[in-house]
Chain A
Amino acid sequence: MSAVHRASAGLKLGVAAALIFGLAALPAERAWWGLCALPPLLALALLARIPIEALLSRWALGAPFLLAAASLGYFQPHGLRVGLALLAKSAVCLLTLQLLIATTPVTELTRTLCRLHLPLVLCETIALLARYSDLLSDEARRMRRARTGRTLRGSRFQEWLALGNSLGLLFVRTVSRAERVQSAMRSRGGA
């Protein structure tokens, strides 16, 4: 566990937010200054012992969106400069965010957010989202396994079609299961 991982989530969130804010506030002409943030970010990644290839490959997944969006900026006066500036800023911001995510577990991040006086209802919903996502994927896996266990014919396409048909049932089944989880929790004194 590196020093970066151990640092408090609040500190990391604050630094990341400040950096992103600073980059966003940069006017298009000075966007290149944003690239100065790259060395410290990469140094932090090294300190956190995150393999550079992993970080860069994840960044590369998000990059096409940035490229597509930046290409929009091309169609205006000084288009090329605007487009490149957008690309530079957004690329560094994305790297910052991904570094934050890589070094901070989700639960800590959400707890920090909630301590920042986000409304209680919202925090509870975020917690429920995390909890029931597991339930949803588990139910989806079960239904898929049950179906493939008796599927003897049909193409990949038909598989996807069948999946579409099951979407509604998946939702209903997960709600029923979630209700059971809720009553189990309540019967042991939880909310």
Chain B
Amino acid sequence: MHIPDGFLSARVAIGYAALSSVGLGAACFRMRAQHERGASALLGVSAAFVFAAQMVNFPVAAGTSGHLVGSALAGALLGLPGALVVMSAVIIMQCFVLADGGVFALGANVFNMGLVGCVVGFCCYRLLCGAAPSPTRRVASVAFAGWCATIAGALSCAGQLSLSGAARLSVVLPAMLGVHALIGVGEAVISSLVVASVLRFRPELLENAGHGALGARSRNTAVFAGLGLSIAIAGLLAPIADVAPDGFSRVTQALGLHASASPLLAPLSQYGIPSLVSGVLATVIAGCLGTLSLFGLCWLLALALVPRKLRAAESRAVVAESSG
């Protein structure tokens, strides 16, 4: 997802650089305020780890490059300001050490992988975790958050390329989203592997990530929040589907849902609902089903990674909670 120089127009590059500076500046300010001396080992190693992980790079037929991002993992380990600082440091170093991503495009790259990636990843993670997450829930949440962050970053990247006139949205959007939906799976796996290990061997490291209680929230709230988020994402995409119907039909066709959605739509169209609305509905349903099933997969992954001992402790805690 590192955009090289020469693809973004001057206006887009400068505009996104300004946005990124503001976000990064706020994060640095926040970091200085809450800077604890003990935290820098985790910060530094996370940065080194994400840097190394991002080097796993492969050229993509239609898109800049596909690789792991790491923003959700950084968010889970360090909290939002720390994650943003780490991702920015990584992107800067990738540019000036590996020539991966352009100098002029730094602002845009930091926006995609730093701001968007971290905000989406961290918010997903926190929303899904709830107040006092069990190890399994944490791992599942970070896996799903990683996938969402990758997709969101790809979305933003596609937007920038299209705004610069480098490519049409209807071409770059499905290409980026399609590829990064797959890469997001790798992101989910790696994030969950690391968080599972940290929970097993150094659980106190995760407690430091500003995990204040979000207030007494039941498990159901998290599920509804997750559902709401996926509907929101689908809703974001729907207007774009309007603008670039050919690109979007390709995506839904690829998902194999276009054909199955038609019988659903047939009765609606009999009532004279304009085709645009039913198209949006189909997209929304597809989006919800897709994201919910992915979350289910993430939960299965977490069950596989969290050792039985930790899970037993978690179920004992639940029993104590419900009886107490």
Contacts and interface: CB of A to CB of B under 8 A. Distances in A.
User: Do A and B assemble together?
Assistant: yes
A161 B263 CA distance: 44
Interface stretch (B8-16, B145-153, B221-229, B252-260): B8-16
B96 A110 contact: yes
A72 B161 contact: yes
Contact of A75 (B5, B96, B167, B198): B167
Contacts of A94: 4-6, 99, 102
B284 to A, nearest CB: 27
Contact of A17 (B85, B104, B175): B104
Contacts of A191: 37
Interface stretch (B40-48, B127-135, B264-272, B289-297): B40-48
Contacts of A28: 165
B44 A178 contact: yes
A98 B62 CA distance: 24
A92 B6 contact: yes
Interface stretch (A40-48, A113-121, A141-149, A150-158): A113-121
A69 B8 CA distance: 11
A8 interface: no
Given A68-B59, A94-B4, A128 B44 contact: yes
A136 B93 contact: no
A167 B193 contact: yes
B141 interface: no
Given A93-B102, A178-B45, A130 B93 contact: yes
Contacts of B103: 16-17, 20, 93, 97
B312 interface: no
Contact of B167 (A58, A72, A101, A106): A72
B77 to A, nearest CB: 9
Contacts of A16: 103
Q: Determine the main DSSP class of B at the interface with A.
A: helix
A52 to B, nearest CB: 17
Contacts of B13: 24
A100 B35 CA distance: 34
Given A65-B65, A121-B85, A168-B197, A93 B49 contact: no
B301 interface: no
A191 B37 CA distance: 8
Interface residues of B, number: 70
B117 to A, nearest CB: 16
A166 B173 CA distance: 35
Nearest to B97: A106
A126 B5 contact: no
Contacts of A38: none
B69 interface: no
B119 interface: no
A73 interface: yes
B63 interface: yes
A187 interface: no
Interface of A is mostly: helix
Interface stretch (B23-31, B231-239, B316-324): B23-31
B32 interface: yes
A89 B6 contact: yes
Contacts of A167: 190, 193-194, 197
A92 B156 CA distance: 25
A24 B52 CA distance: 29
Interface string A148-182: 00000000000000001101110110111011011
B167 A121 contact: no
Contacts of A24: 5-6, 8-10, 13, 104
Contact of A135 (B45, B85, B168): B45
A178 B39 CA distance: 11
A170 B95 CA distance: 25
A175 B41 contact: yes
Contacts of B125: none
18 contacts: A24-B104, A68-B64, A75-B171, A86-B7, A94-B6, A94-B102, A97-B103, A101-B96, A101-B99, A106-B96, A122-B92, A128-B47, A133-B52, A167-B197, A168-B193, A171-B197, A175-B42, A178-B42
Pairs of residues from A and B, 10 with the lowest C-beta to C-beta distance, nearest first: A168-B197, A128-B44, A90-B6, A93-B5, A89-B6, A72-B167, A119-B28, A178-B41, A129-B47, A132-B48
